[in-house]
Amino acid sequence: MRQIKFRVRDTNTKKVLGYERINSDGHWEQKRVNRTDWVLGAITGEDNLIREQLTEYEDMLGKEMYEGHVIEYDEFARRNPKKGLLMEVKIPDIYHWRSGMVNIKVIGNICENPELLNPPHES
């Protein structure tokens, strides 16, 4: 069964506060950053939270891929394969594109590193 898990981010500080998941009993659990234990309940208290869903994929180093991650990958193609492509992970787009990707590596996230997808133009 697919795990339902989210990364919870503060939109003001752009930092990850913790993670939420639905446990095997169907209840919400949370784990704050720098904690090892999961406790019942969702992360609340702030109005500026966003939840980025786990995709069920990992990059080539075993890192979980969430919505908002920026990934670098090579395109698998018989003709003219491309290397070093960049993409923001979005659901459901990642499910469509994933089959043509190899050597996937999470290199940042769109909240903390928007410049990854908008490099400065050379003059």
Model pLDDT for residues 52-100, shown as the tens digit of each residue: 999 988 999 999 999 999 999 998 876 778 889 899 998 888 777 777 7
* Residue at 123 is within a domain: no
Q: Give backbone dihedrals phi and psi of 95, rounded to 5 degrees, phi first.
A: -70, -35
Q: Look-up: residue for tokens 């702030």? A: 46
Which domain range does residue 46 map to? 5-116
* Residue at 111 is within a domain: yes
Per-residue pLDDT at 6: 95
* Residue at 121 is within a domain: no
Of 72, 28, 67, 27, the C-alpha closest to 51 is 67
Domain count, the chain: 1
* Residue at 11 is within a domain: yes
* Residue at 100 is within a domain: yes
pLDDT band at 3, cuts 50/70/90? confident
* Residue at 96 is within a domain: yes
Q: For 47-55, what is the mean pLDDT?
A: 92
CA 66 – CA 53 distance, rounded (Å): 6
- Average pLDDT over the chain, rounded to an integer: 88
* Residue at 98 is within a domain: yes
121: which residues sit within 8 A by CB, 6+ positions away? none
